[in-house]
Amino acid sequence: MEIRGPMMLPAHREDIELSTLDGLTLVGELATPKDSTPLATLVTLHPLPTAGGFMDSHILRKAAARLPALADLAVLRFNTRGTTSPRGTSEGAFDGGRAEAFDVAAAMDFVRERGLPAPWIVGWSFGTELALKYGRDHDIEGVILLSPPLHRATDDEVSEWANDPRRMVILVPEFDDYLRPDEARRRFASVPDATLIAVDGGKHLWVGESQTRRVLTEIVAAVAPQKLPLAVEWPDDAA
């Protein structure tokens, strides 16, 4: 059976709650490999909730559906404050990326308390702003930025990563709605060790199976390259 669309591969999936320092409860899910110890952990930060972003935004949902089985990765997804998905609604209200600092901290506290290994923050769109603003405050291996708009993260906040030894991987779609490769190279030039990948034919929302596979492959290339290439088929009776 070809792996595509909403297909969900075997994993242990657990509904979780995160507690923020300002007293909110956030809802989420942790997906881990079914029969092995995870090699690393993806802490995912979703796109802008006021534009429809949530923990089930398709790239993050497919990462959780596929990567525990295909790459032995743990995948943590959650709704930031005030965000609703089929999993439920996180308490609080959207704060434009300010109080969401507490949400990122709550996720990282959960990772530490569970002893999840080698955490990477994976932000998509608005989630990249949170990763850039607050990722340096936490014990992570690096950040992976999908379609960064650089609307809320300032040039100073970007340049602060220049002296940080942790990795930064940036996927910029050729036809992004907000930040295209040439401008992205200029805006991220202050972080000379960052890996910027321009994705030919890519768009901000990464729609289509070919773009999904490209994004998931680049995530695994950064986090667990020994697991490449990712399988594109799965036994019919095991999915």
Distances from the Cα of 106 to the Cα of 58, 79, 172, 173, 233, angstroms: 23, 12, 28, 30, 36
Domain membership of residue 2 (yes or no) is: no
CATH of the domain at 37: 3.40.50.1820
Structure tokens at 186: 């200029």
The packing angle between helices 126-134 and 100-114, to 10°, is 70
Residue-wise pLDDT tens digits, 124-143: 999 999 999 999 999 999 99
Question: Could you tell me the pLDDT band of residue 98, with boundaries at 50, 70 and 90?
Answer: very high
Residue-wise pLDDT tens digits, 1-27: 999 999 999 999 999 999 999 999 999
Contact predicate 224/205, CB 8 Å: no
**What is the average pLDDT across 202-207?**
97
Structure tokens at 198: 């321009």
Q: What is the mean pLDDT of the chain?
A: 97
**What is the average pLDDT across 177-181?**
97
Number of folded domains in the chain? 1
Domain membership of residue 111 (yes or no) is: yes
Residue 238, pLDDT > 80, answer no
At 239 the pLDDT is 56
Contact predicate 9/233, CB 8 Å: no
Residue 91, pLDDT > 60, answer yes
pTM: 0.97
Domain membership of residue 176 (yes or no) is: yes
Contact predicate 35/4, CB 8 Å: no
